[in-house]
Amino acid sequence: MDLDLSGPAAALADRVRAHLPAAGRLGVAYSGGVDSATLLAVAVRTLGAGRVVALLGVSPSLAATERAVAHRVAQDIGVRVVEIATHEGDNPAYVANGPDRCFHCKDELFTRIDGSVVSELGLAAVAYGENADDAVRPDRPGARAATEHRVLRPLADAGLGKAEVRELARAFGLEVADKPAAPCLASRIPHRSEVTPEKLAQVERAEAAVRAAGLSDCRVRHHGEVARVEVPVDELSLVIERREEILSAVRAAGFRFVALDLAGIQSGAFTLPLVQLGERRG
């Protein structure tokens, strides 16, 4: 991948560069999504590949396809990936799946990074890919964990929203530049319903089946025996065309009933309504 930039893209990268550490090695909490991949590319462009390492948290909530993409994109950028096994599933507060579930997940990742990875890899700082749009959303409790662990957020501090991040990713030629958001599998389970490895595996199998039927993106929300399938609105008709294939495959993943959500894909479908309710009560 060519890290040379010019024009507006170079200006965006320079804004981010101002918020990177001047010395030492940087660890980037990395998922393979467009935000963390773009941050990784800017860090390598600024510091050099030898001073940057991608830190990929691995647990049952990370889909195998996302893990593979993360490794492929990091290889293209030219940076080393270190996988960190996280065990948020051992934390009762995470399993209970309250609106703060993401806090416990990120706290587990950053705790494990603080506990051994920083010293083993000689990291001067750790950063993650929060962008400026996410920074003002109320349904991002993981940001609190980043603050508590003193994790840097260069994209957000540079004022780059999602559109600018994607613009920069395209300039770098990242394959994930236009990749839809891919929240962890646990986000498909309604709050207050326990997160279990079995549910996560069901969701992963069902979503893989829906994509295999030709859909560009999907969420399979886990409502017990019911799978509520969300796809892009302009692809709703495709689900109907391939109804039998999708119905059979999602049932094979362990669901008895399969419902199509006419609202399409909804970011923050479970967390945002609860957070907004809490704000009104407050």
Average pLDDT for consecutive 10-residue bins of the chain (282 residues)? 85 96 95 96 96 97 96 97 96 95 95 91 96 85 91 97 97 94 92 96 97 96 97 96 97 97 83 51 42
Closest CA relative to residue 233, chosen from 210, 259, 266, 200: 266
How many angstroms separate the CA atoms of 68 and 71, rounded? 5
In order of 47, 144, 202, the CA distances from 137 in angstroms are 30, 12, 29
pLDDT computed for residue 282 by the predictor: 40
Closest CA relative to residue 12, chosen from 162, 163, 179, 158: 158
Burial 20-35 (b: 16+ CB within 10 A, else e): bbeeebbbbbbbbbbb
pLDDT computed for residue 55 by the predictor: 98
How many angstroms separate the CA atoms of 158 and 75, rounded? 26
pLDDT computed for residue 167 by the predictor: 97
pLDDT computed for residue 281 by the predictor: 43
pLDDT computed for residue 83 by the predictor: 97
Helix (H, G, I), strand (E, B) or coil at 61: coil
Q: Which domains does the chain show, CATH number per domain?
A: 7-172 (3.40.50.620), 185-260 (3.30.300)
